[in-house]
């Protein structure tokens, strides 16, 4: 490569094309099992390690990269053409960055097949490369991401590292550290404090901004609190437990706090990690999936309710499952073990493909949670109605 | 397949008859395109479904009407506050003008209930509007005048809803070409490439709102215009049926839309249906792609005289190709080659454009190549965007390819660095393209050079990998046999351990001369091979075909049918051999090259194929067998050619070798034309000889389709053309068994066929064309492969010729008695033309094929089958007024008795001057209408425009290039105003005879099995 690139380039086309390649140092991805994938660097020029996960969504890289659930993870995008529409600006709306799911890129690094050096979009302010470099995030392109995905699928999520140039690094495992602490806010923030508004406490375990936007959009005041905050001393109408990274069992303080809230019959809505925390707080158990769900096309079937909480859904079929199915966006590696919960709880949704739990609800009390992201961004918007249901639960 | 099949026109009259006879419980309207949908709506409105208690399954009629009637459509979407282009419906030209004034120009004119945007188009000013509106009202009694959104992005979604209100969008697609160019004329990519998450999901959410609000059960397609500089959008159109786009979406994603839609119409829910690709997940999901798909339309505009090459809001393309890859550069280059129009990719083509700026602004079928040329000339991407409104992202990608070509130009085959070669392959350059560029575009000895590139990249281990299409981007393990190849990957998804493999080469894009017929042959061959226990491997890239349904074969390579790619697959799969005789001319043309690389060709030997395809060798062979043929000569020089033509007397036929459907086959009537056509022919057929032969007219044309084994003919079917020789066989009306041919002639044809078959040692399907004049038989054409008429003869005779041919190829015993002559019924095949969409094209038949499809009907006799087939291609029987212009004196005399019959039947006859005088002399009264160019009333054009004529019989004066303007104007006007037109004397005669003998009631409603 080097020999070839040092040849003198005389015409302008060549400058255009190979200028980019010339800037792109050789890079590789090394999995913990020793498997290697060659590519070129297009982000920050340093090596890094983390847990390697993939997502099969075809749009939404700015949203995914800023999703705190990816903290500690190296993200592989299976859609091969990335960077096409650049990166939008950092405008602030309602105290939140308008175009991103958190204040910064959360992934350890990014892996793609074909990176678009040129981008085109009215809303773009910079290229993906510029953004990655600004935020000091390594990235690699030219990888056979399909081979990589198949490896991860078969062997389960693995640790790995991206080596840029010759700089080696040690393997880092985000699943054994209290990673939620790193992504949660340090002090409470209140959004849209208005008299007469109902108020919800949102436990930030690495929250995506669109959860907050969805609550604000429905006329609520949102008190966003750190993951280990003792919110029971405050006055509020409902509780939201956010998404977040890592093993839910590591969020001991959050589980404890939520457990206490349940005793007070506070209307509760859990999302993603929040589903698992609610389960653990209710005395249940969680486990790591062989195939995590990381895509924008997961079908979730509504389970027949035994109570009357099914407002808005069509009449149920005589079987356990209804005929209603929703396409959801997901990003999780752990799941709720339905059998571990007491019979006061029932399954809310199940995954149409692998039958794993996709949500739980209490048979008599206003507690519900789902394993996916009803706030979407990125992904389909079909289940935003769950926020409406939550508002209805608030007395 | 179906339990019963009726070969009948899909019109309310016949469908009602079938309902009456069969008494079905339900009917599905959304699977047969616009024709079926319109027919269903008419039947519903006429109360037929109610009368016979037939349930409409799936999407209901009111939902269909809400999408088809533009005014209702807008009202419906306004109810849920969704945006449509500002518009109003008009019921007259005057109303349209008034609305346009209010909306301000430019405006878009849309026609209700029209297929492929027929009659639609933008109008920049009032004059244009009036002209277009007038034409539009010929097809419909309502038009919609709307704000023109030219330059906006065009995006489509395929949406599915079940009876339980579950909704999914299976695929979204983005048009490379902006609004203003019909989506059937656009290059399309899937999934969208320049949309952000917000845009993608906003439009997706709206699509679901719409499908729910309209109450569609099954599948629908929704088209948007998206502002390129905000998230503003307009809903352009909803099709409440399976469409061309749904076929594309099914192939692009691996999600079988039609299958699922049919199940949903029967009441299944999306969760009841398994994902047929993974066999582990459900159909209730949205496919995640890990590749990009590019569709490019295939046009055949050069086949028409006088046609406009500009593309716009009406569909002119006749087919499409779809390429799959993991880079846009790679995929679009593949797609361009798949078009099979002599282009090697984005670059390394020998094309020149005079006015690049104009061509950018007014797009033609060559627009992609104009962009390439513009980039090479240094026109900036911004400027190209301004002129084309094609998103810059696409333009940047094209520029990458131009850049790589420039890079390649500074090397030779000897010194190209490995990295550059690898990059070029990753960007979709073919070995041929690379070889050509590296030898400074010197096009000589290309085969040798491309093989050098091939061995070079093998040495460097630059070999394409096979990837699966699994609908889930590898998230779950999938048992899929749906495959493509790419250089952007390191590992094959599949293993190559199966034995007993046979490759069947497909037929490529539908184009004039090669439509679904060859695909039928491929599919039937695969079915037979599978039944016999072989592992079948299909290679094809046409998203409209059945052969590219992944459940037809054991392995489907959705990839190029090029020498390079076929060899790649051959080397990986190591099959027993390759079947090349089913897919028409594309596989046929690969035979010799593949043979030289020791690829095992199954069936007739490559040497024999060459002897039939090479015009010179074949003509010599006929001479040596003492088989008569029209006088011929190989065109080596212009001088020689002219001498020959003068000796045998013009007109002469110019015929290149190895071509299909008479591409560049032309009739020259004088020296000037001969010169011009010889040049054209030489361009098409560079490596093969061009032959000139005497054109024989006023003779019958007869075809034989047959299967032979080791040179012995096993089964044959003889069909006869209704039209005299001189009309391309693909455009001819054919009857089987022959109706007017002497037994003696048939005997001679059989003898000649035997001789040829034996001498070429044919094993497999073949077709020979003859002309017969006064019991003299001459051979004019021979193809050692399945022909266009194989499905026709198989269906009429009820012997599957392809099944037999496949078995013949495998060496199985297929001896038997096959009766194909003594049938109690007649089958007639009639061509379907698309002249109305080809602005300006002269609707006339010649030696170069022009039809875009065909129909076949069965009847108890010729007249019945002929009328049914004519009605099937949209012909409307005349009620009262017929215009006659019967051409030269010979045809005038030929048609005299027919016209007398018309007069006796009570038709009002109108005629142009000469014809009227001739008729009067023979005692037939007609009213004179003046020639178009005479500014005198009553004028032919006025009568046509006012739609006072029900049928035009216009026989052209001669075959000369310089058609009389008057004749042309009459024919064109008839087409533009949707008036039935007959231009062939033999067909006109048969028509008159048929309507004089048969009334609608006499056309029997019999299913296939009843014959």
Per-residue pLDDT tens digits for B233-265: 999 999 999 988 999 999 999 999 999 999 999
Task: Determine the Cα–Cα distance for residues A357 and A276; give it in Å rounded to an integer.
Answer: 10
List of residues 6+ apart from B386 with CB closer than 8 A: none
pLDDT of residue B608: 96
Q: What is the mean pLDDT of residues A151-171?
A: 91
- Select the more confidently predicted residue: B939 or B114: B939
Count of CB contacts below 8 A, A vs B? 200
**Active-site annotation holder among A293, A332, A362, A373:** A373
Neighbour tally for B55: CB within 10 Å = 11
Q: Do B488 and A321 touch (CB under 8 A)?
A: no
Q: Are residues A264 and A168 in the same domain?
A: no
CA B977 from chain centre, in angstroms, equals 23
Average pLDDT, integer, range B80-104: 92
Average pLDDT, chain B: 92
Q: What are the φ and ψ backbone dihedral angles of A3, each rounded to 5 degrees?
A: -55, -45
Return d(Cα B562, Cα B428) in angstroms, integer: 13
- What does the pLDDT average to over B871-891? 94
Whether residue A319 has pLDDT greater than 60: no
Rounded average pLDDT over B767-773: 95
pLDDT computed for residue A175 by the predictor:
83
Percentages helix, strand, coil for chain B (3-state, rounded to 5) are 40, 20, 40
Amino acid A6: pLDDT: 35
pLDDT of A317 over the 60 cut: no
Residues A224 and A151 in one domain: no
pLDDT tens-digit profile of B210-219? 999 999 999 9
- Predicted model pTM: 0.94
Chain B residues touching residue A117 (CB < 8 angstroms): 396
Mean pLDDT in residue range A35-62: 96
Q: Which residues of B301-316 are buried (b: 16+ CB within 10 A; e: fewer)?
A: bebbbebeeebbbbbb
CA dihedral B892, B894, B897, B899 (to 10 degrees): -40
CATH number of the domain bearing residue B476: 3.40.50.20
**Residues β-bridged to residue B767:** B705, B783
Please indicate, yes or no, if residue B766 is contained in any of the structural domains. yes
- In degrees, rounded to 5, the angle at the alpha carbon of residue B666 between the alpha carbons of residues B662 and B670 is 170
Same domain, A274 and A363: yes
Express each pLDDT in B286-327 by its tens digit. 999 999 999 999 998 877 777 788 888 777 888 999 999 999
Query: Does the pLDDT at position B674 exceed 70?
Result: yes
Q: Does B232 touch chain A (CB under 8 A)?
A: no
Q: Does B407 touch chain A (CB under 8 A)?
A: yes
Q: Quickly tell me which residue has 């093989």 as its tokens.
A: B451
Would the pLDDT of B114 be above 70? no
Q: How far is Cα B596 from Cα B610, in angstroms, rounded to an integer?
A: 13
User: Chain A closest CA to B66's CA: distance in Å?
Assistant: 24
Domain range for residue A239? Answer: 179-393
Least confident window among A41-55, B109-123, B493-507, B682-696: B109-123
Output the domain CATH number for residue A205. 3.40.50.880
Q: Which of B36-45, B96-105, B831-840, B885-894 has the lowest mean pLDDT?
A: B831-840
* Closest C-alpha to B951, from B1010, B1011, B885, B863: B885
Mean pLDDT of A44-69: 96
Does B550 fall in a domain? yes
Rounded Cα gap, residues B887 and B788, in angstroms: 31
pLDDT at A4: 39
Give the orientation angle of helix A273-281 with respect to helix A252-263, to 10 degrees. 60
Q: Tell whether B482 and B449 lie within a shared domain.
A: no
- pLDDT value for B584: 93
pLDDT computed for residue B115 by the predictor: 56
B424 and B485 belong to one structural domain = no
CATH number of the domain that residue B920 is part of: 3.40.50.1380
The verdict on A219 and A360 lying in the same domain is yes
Give a yes or no: residue B623 inside a domain.
no
CA distances for A52 relative to A32, A95, A152, A157, B648, angstroms? 10, 32, 8, 6, 78
Tell me, yes or no, whether A213 and A143 share the same domain. Answer: no
pLDDT greater than 70 at residue A19: no
Write out chain A in H/E/C secondary structure: CHHHHCCCCCCHHHHHHHHHHHHCCEEEEEECCCCEEEEEECCCCCCEEEEEEEECCCCCHHHHHCCHHHCCEEEEECCCEECCCCEECCCEECCEECCCCCCCCCCCEEECCEECCCCCCCCEEECHHHHHHHCCCCEEECCCHHHHHHHHHHHCCEEEEEEECCCCCCCCCHHHCCHHHHHCCCCCEEECCCCCCEEEEEEECCCCHHHHHHHHHCCEEEEEEECCCCHHHCCCCEEEECCCCCCHHHCHHHHHHHHHHHHCCCCEEEECHHHHHHHHHCCCEEEEEEEEEEEEEEEEEEECCCCCCCCCCCCCCCCCEEEEEEEEEEEEEEEEEHHHCCCCEEEEEEECCCCCEEEEEECCCCEEEECCCCCCCCCCCCCCHHHHHHHHHCC
Judge whether B216 lies within some domain.
no
Which tokens is A131 given?
């953004």
A247 CB-near residues (< 8 Å, 6+ apart): A175, A288, A334
Catalytic residue among A63, A205, A251, A272: A272
In a mutational test of the B interface, the residue from A2, A145, A319, A327 whose CB has the highest number of chain B CBs within 10 Å is A327
Lookup: tokens for B120:
């639609």
The closest alpha carbon to B113, from B132, B136, B135, B92, belongs to B136
pLDDT beyond 90 at B963: no
Q: Which residues of A touch B463 (CB under 8 A)?
A: none
Query: How sure is the predictor about A24, in pLDDT bands with cuts at 50, 70 and 90?
Result: confident
Q: What is the DSSP string of B364-420?
A: BTTHHHHHHHHHHTT--HHHHHHHH---HHHHHHHHHHHHHHHHHHT--TTT--HHH
Shared-domain flag, residues A264 and A327: yes
- Domain range for residue B46? 12-57
Instruction: Verify whether residue A325 is a known catalytic residue.
Output: no
Question: Tens digits of per-residue pLDDT, B815-829?
Answer: 999 999 999 999 999
Among the ranges given (A107-111, B271-275, B839-843), the one the predictor scored with the smallest mean pLDDT: B839-843
Q: Any CB–CB contact under 8 A between B391 and chain A?
A: yes
B535 plus B483 within the same structural domain: yes
> Which pLDDT does position B142 carry in this prediction?
82
Same domain assignment for residues A65 and A170: yes
Whose tokens are 């051959």? That residue is: B570
Q: Is A4 on the interface with B (CB under 8 A)?
A: yes
Q: Beta strand A92-93 with A87-88: parallel, antiparallel or unpaired?
A: unpaired
Least confident of A69-83, A349-363, B509-523, B627-641: B627-641
What pLDDT does residue B623 have?
Answer: 95
Find the radius of gyration of the CA atoms of chain A. Answer: 22
Residues A225, A320 within the same domain: yes
- B965 CB neighbour count, 10 Å cutoff: 11
pLDDT tens track for B425-442: 999 999 999 999 999 877
Q: Are B706 and B668 in the same domain?
A: no
Q: What is the mean pLDDT of chain A?
A: 90
Burial class of residue B937 in the structure, from the number of CB atoms within 10 Å of its CB (0-12 exposed, 13-18 middle, 19+ buried): exposed
Same domain? A242 vs A306:
yes
Domain boundary among A148, A176, A204: A176
pLDDT tens string B989-1008: 999 999 999 999 999 999 99
Rounded alpha-carbon distances, angstroms, from residue B8 to A15, B32, B828, B932, B936:
63, 14, 11, 37, 43
φ and ψ at residue B406, rounded to 5 degrees? -60, -40
Task: Give B282's DSSP letter.
Answer: B
Are B193 and B292 within 8 A, CB to CB?
yes
B279: pLDDT strictly greater than 90: no
Asked whether the beta carbons of residue B228 and residue A327 sit closer than 8 angstroms, the reply is no
Instruction: Enter the ipTM.
Output: 0.93
Mean pLDDT of all residues in B589-600: 96
Partner residue facing A114 (CB), from B167, B168, B488:
B488
For residue B318 the two structure tokens come to: 């006749």
Q: What is the CATH number of the domain that holds A7?
A: 3.50.30.20
pLDDT at residue A7, as a whole number: 36
A116, A296, A352: residue with CB nearest B282 = A352
pLDDT band for position A140 (50/70/90)? very high
Identify whether residues B432 and B474 lie together within a single domain. no
Could you tell me if B771 and B916 lie in one domain? no
Alpha carbon distance A377, A388 (integer Å)? 17
In a domain, B214, yes or no: no
B833 CA: distance to closest CA in chain A (Å): 41
Quick one: tokens of B907?
A: 């038709």
CATH code for the domain of B663: 3.30.1490.20
- Same domain for A168 and A190: no
**Which residues in chain B are closer than 8 Å to A60, comparing Cβ atoms?**
196-197, 200
pLDDT at A23: 57
Q: Are residues B439 and B505 in the same domain?
A: no
* Judgement on whether residues B477 and B584 belong to the same structural domain of the protein: yes
In contact, B146 and B103? CB cutoff 8 Å:
yes
Span B755-777, average pLDDT: 95
Q: Decide if A322 contacts A304 (C-beta within 8 A).
A: yes
DSSP B724: P
For residue B664, give the 3-state DSSP assignment: coil
Considering the candidates A101, A347, A375, A376, report the single residue annotated as catalytic.
A375
Rounded Cα distance, A94 and A358, in Å: 31
* % pLDDT > 70, chain B: 97
Closest CA to B702 of B796, B785, B789: B789
CB contact, 8 Å: A63 with chain B?
yes
Count, residues in chain B: 1011
Which B-chain residues 451-510 have CB contacts (< 8 A) with chain A?
465, 467, 472-477, 488-491, 493
Domain end residue (candidates: A142, A176, A210) = A176
> How far apart, in whole angstroms, are the C-alpha atoms of residue A184 and residue A253?
13
Mutual angle of helices B70-79 and B197-214, in 10-degree steps:
110
Please check whether residue B187 is in contact with residue B177, taking contact to mean a CB–CB distance below 8 angstroms. Answer: yes
- Which two three-digit tokens encode residue A19? 């200028």
DSSP category for residue B930? B
Name the nearest CA neighbour of B951 among B984, B909, B905, B904. B909
Task: Return d(Cα B473, Cα B476) in angstroms, integer.
Answer: 8
* Helix B563-573 × helix B446-459 angle, to 10°: 40
The residue out of A144, A176, A208 marking a domain boundary is A176
Domain count, chain B: 7
Q: Which residues of B196-213 are buried (b: 16+ CB within 10 A; e: fewer)?
A: bbbbbbbbbbbbbebbee
Share of chain B above pLDDT 90, in %: 74
| Dist. CA B849–CA B836, nearest whole Å | 16
How high is the pLDDT of residue A2? 38
In a domain, B81, yes or no: no
> CA B985: distance to chain centroid?
27
Shared domain check, A240 and A255: yes
Let me know whether A340 and A388 are in one domain.
yes
Number of domains in chain A: 2
- Look at A327 and B280 and tell me if their CB atoms are within 8 Å: no
- Any B CB within 8 A of A377 CB: yes
- HEC profile of A87-148: EECCCEECCEECCCCCCCCCCCEEECCEECCCCCCCCEEECHHHHHHHCCCCEEECCCHHHH
Q: Are residues B470 and B438 part of one domain?
A: no
Q: Contacts of residue B493 in chain A, CB cutoff 8 Å?
A: 146, 150
What pLDDT is attached to residue B117?
61
pLDDT band at A16 (very low <50, low <70, confident <90, very high): very low
A379 touching chain B per CB within 8 A: yes
B436 vs B445: CA distance, rounded Å: 10
Confidence of residue A318 (pLDDT cuts 50, 70, 90): very low
Q: Does A155 reach chain B within 8 Å, measured CB to CB? A: no
Measured between alpha carbons, how far is A160 from A173 in angstroms, rounded to an integer?
Answer: 9
How many C-beta neighbours within 10 Å does residue B442 have? 11
Among this protein's residues, is A373 annotated catalytic? yes
Instruction: Report whether pLDDT(B471) > 70.
Output: yes
């Amino acid at each position: 490569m080097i020999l070839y690139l040092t040849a003198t380039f005389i015409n302008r086309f060549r400058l255009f094309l190979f200028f980019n390649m010339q800037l792109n140092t050789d890079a590789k991805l090394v999995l913990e099992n020793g498997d290697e994938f060659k590519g070129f660097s297009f982000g920050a020029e340093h090596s890094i390690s983390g847990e390697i996960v993939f997502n099969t969504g075809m749009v939404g890289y700015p949203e995914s990269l800023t999703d705190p659930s990816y903290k500690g993870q190296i993200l592989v995008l299976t859609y091969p053409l990335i960077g096409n529409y650049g990166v939008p600006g950092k405008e602030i709306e309602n105290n939140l960055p308008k175009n991103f799911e958190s204040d910064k890129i959360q992934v350890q690094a990014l892996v793609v097949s074909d990176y678009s050096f040129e981008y085109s979009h009215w809303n773009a302010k910079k290229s993906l490369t510029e953004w990655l470099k600004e935020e000091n995030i390594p990235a690699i392109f030219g990888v056979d991401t399909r081979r990589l995905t198949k490896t991860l699928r078969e062997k389960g999520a693995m640790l790995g590292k991206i080596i840029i140039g010759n700089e080696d690094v040690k393997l880092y495992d985000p699943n054994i550290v209290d990673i939620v602490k790193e992504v949660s806010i340090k002090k409470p923030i209140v959004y849209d404090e208005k008299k007469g508004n109902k108020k919800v406490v949102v436990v930030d375990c690495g929250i995506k901004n669109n959860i907050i936007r969805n609550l604000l959009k429905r006329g609520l005041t949102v008190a966003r609190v750190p993951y280990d905050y003792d919110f029971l001393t405050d006055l509020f109408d409902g509780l939201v437990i956010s998404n977040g990274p890592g093993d839910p069992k590591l969020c001991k303080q959050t589980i404890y706090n939520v457990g206490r809230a349940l005793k007070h019959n506070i209307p509760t809505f859990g999302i993603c990690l929040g589903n698992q925390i609610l389960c653990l707080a209710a005395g249940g158990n969680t486990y790591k999936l062989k195939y995590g769900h990381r895509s924008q096309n997961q079908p979730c079937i509504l389970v027949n309710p035994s109570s009357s909480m099914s407002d808005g859904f069509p009449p149920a079929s005589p079987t356990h499952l209804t005929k209603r199915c929703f396409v959801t966006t997901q990003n999780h590696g752990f799941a709720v073990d339905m059998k571990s919960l007491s019979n006061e709880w029932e399954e809310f949704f199940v995954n149409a493909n692998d039958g794993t739990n996709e949500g739980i609800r209490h048979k008599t009390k206003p507690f519900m949670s789902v394993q996916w992201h009803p706030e979407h961004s990125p992904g389909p918007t079909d289940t935003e109605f769950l926020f409406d249901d939550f508002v209805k639960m608030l007395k | 397949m179906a339990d019963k099949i009726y070969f009948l026109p899909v019109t309310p009259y016949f469908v009602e008859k079938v309902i009456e006879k069969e008494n079905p419980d339900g009917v599905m309207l959304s699977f047969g395109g616009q024709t079926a949908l319109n027919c269903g709506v008419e039947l519903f409105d006429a109360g037929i479904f109610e009368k016979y208690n037939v349930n409409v399954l799936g999407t209901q009629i009111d939902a269909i009407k809400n999408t088809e009637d533009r005014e209702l459509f807008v009202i419906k979407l306004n109810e849920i506050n969704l945006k449509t282009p500002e518009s109003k419906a008009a019921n007259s030209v005057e109303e349209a003008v008034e609305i346009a004034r209010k909306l301000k120009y430019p405006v878009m004119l849309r026609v209700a209930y029209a297929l492929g945007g027929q009659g639609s188009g933008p109008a920049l000013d009032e004059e244009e509007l009036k002209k277009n509106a007038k034409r539009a009202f010929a097809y419909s009694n309502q038009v919609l005048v709307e704000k023109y959104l030219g330059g906006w992005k065009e995006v489509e979604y395929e949406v599915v809803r079940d009876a339980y209100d579950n909704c999914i969008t299976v695929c979204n697609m983005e048009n490379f070409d902006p609004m203003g160019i019909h989506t059937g004329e656009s290059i399309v990519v899937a999934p969208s490439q320049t949309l952000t998450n917000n845009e993608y999901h906003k439009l997706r959410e709206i699509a679901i709102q719409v499908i729910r609000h309209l109450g569609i059960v099954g599948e629908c397609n929704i088209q948007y215009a998206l502002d390129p500089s905000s998230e503003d959008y307009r809903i352009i159109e909803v099709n409440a049926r399976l469409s061309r786009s749904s076929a594309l979406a099914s192939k692009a994603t691996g999600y079988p839309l039609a299958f699922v839609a049919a199940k949903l119409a029967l009441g299944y829910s999306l969760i009841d249906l398994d994902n047929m690709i993974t066999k582990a997940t459900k159909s209730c999901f949205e496919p995640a792609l890990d590749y990009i798909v590019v569709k490019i339309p295939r046009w055949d505009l050069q086949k028409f005289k006088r046609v406009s090459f500009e593309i716009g809001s009406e569909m002119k393309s006749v087919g499409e190709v779809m390429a799959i890859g993991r880079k846009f550069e790679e995929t679009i280059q593949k797609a361009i080659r798949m078009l099979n129009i002599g282009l090697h990719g984005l670059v390394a083509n020998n094309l020149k454009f005079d006015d690049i700026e104009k061509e950018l602004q007014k797009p033609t079928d060559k627009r992609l190549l104009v962009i390439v040329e513009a980039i090479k000339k240094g026109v900036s991407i911004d400027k190209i965007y301004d002129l084309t409104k094609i998103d810059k992202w696409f333009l940047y990608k094209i520029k990458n390819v131009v850049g790589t070509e420039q890079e390649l130009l500074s090397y030779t085959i000897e010194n190209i660095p490995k990295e550059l070669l690898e990059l070029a392959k990753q960007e979709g350059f073919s070995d041929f393209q690379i070889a050509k560029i590296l030898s400074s575009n010197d096009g000589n000895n290309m085969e040798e050079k491309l093989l050098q590139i091939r061995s070079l990249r093998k040495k460097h281990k630059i070999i394409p990998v096979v990837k699966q299409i699994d609908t889930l981007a590898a998230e779950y393990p999938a048992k899929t046999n749906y495959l493509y190849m790419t250089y952007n990957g390191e590992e094959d998804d599949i293993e190559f351990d199966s034995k007993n493999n046979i490759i069947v080469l497909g037929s490529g894009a539908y184009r004039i001369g090669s439509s679904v017929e060859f695909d039928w042959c491929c599919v039937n061959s695969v079915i037979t091979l599978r039944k016999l226990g072989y592992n079948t491997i299909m290679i094809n890239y046409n998203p409209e075909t059945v052969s590219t349904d992944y459940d037809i074969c054991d392995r489907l390579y959705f990839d190029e049918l090029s020498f390079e790619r076929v060899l790649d697959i051959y080397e990986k799969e190591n099959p027993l051999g390759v079947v090349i005789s089913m897919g028409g001319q594309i596989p046929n043309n690969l035979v010799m090259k593949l043979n030289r690389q020791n690829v095992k060709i199954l069936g007739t030997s490559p040497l024999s194929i060459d002897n039939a395809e090479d015009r010179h060798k074949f003509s010599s062979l006929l001479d040596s067998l003492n088989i008569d043929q029209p006088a011929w000569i190989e065109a080596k020089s212009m001088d020689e050619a002219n001498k020959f033509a003068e000796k045998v007397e013009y007109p002469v036929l110019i015929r290149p070798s190895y071509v299909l459907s008479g591409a560049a086959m032309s009739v020259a009537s004088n020296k000037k034309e001969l010169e011009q056509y010889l040049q054209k022919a030489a361009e098409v057929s560079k490596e093969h000889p061009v032959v000139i032969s005497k054109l024989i007219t006023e003779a019958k044309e007869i075809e034989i389709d047959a299967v032979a084994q080791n040179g012995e003919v096993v089964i044959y079917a003889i069909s006869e053309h209704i039209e005299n020789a001189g009309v391309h066989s693909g455009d001819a009306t054919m009857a089987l068994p022959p109706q007017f041919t002497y037994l003696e002639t048939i005997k001679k044809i059989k003898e000649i066929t035997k001789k040829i078959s034996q001498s070429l040692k044919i094993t497999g399907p073949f077709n020979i064309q003859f002309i017969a004049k006064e019991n003299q038989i001459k051979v004019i054409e021979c193809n050692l492969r399945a022909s266009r008429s194989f499905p026709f003869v198989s269906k009429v005779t009820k012997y599957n010729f392809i099944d037999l041919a496949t078995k013949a190829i495998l060496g199985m015993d297929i001896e038997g008695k096959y009766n194909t002559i003594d049938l109690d019924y007649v089958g007639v095949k009639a061509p379907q033309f698309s002249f109305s969409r080809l602005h300006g094209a002269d609707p006339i038949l010649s030696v170069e094929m022009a039809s875009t499809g065909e129909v076949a009907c069965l009847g108890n006799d010729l007249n019945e089958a002929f009328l049914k087939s004519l009605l099937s291609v949209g012909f409307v029987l005349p009620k009262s007024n017929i215009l006659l212009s019967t051409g030269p004196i010979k045809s005038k005399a030929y048609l005299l008795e027919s016209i007398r019959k018309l007069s006796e039947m009570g038709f009002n006859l109108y005629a142009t001057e000469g014809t009227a005088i001739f008729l009067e002399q023979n005692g037939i009264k007609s009213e004179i209408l003046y020639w178009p160019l005479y500014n005198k009333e009553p004028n032919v054009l006025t009568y046509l425009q006012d739609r006072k004529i029900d049928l035009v019989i216009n026989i052209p004066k001669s075959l000369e290039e310089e058609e009389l303007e008057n004749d042309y104007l009459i024919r064109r006007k008839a087409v533009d105003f949707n008036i039935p037109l007959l231009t062939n004397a033999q067909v006109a005669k048969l028509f008159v005879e048929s309507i004089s003998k048969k009334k609608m009631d006499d056309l029997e409603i019999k299913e296939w099995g009843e014959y």
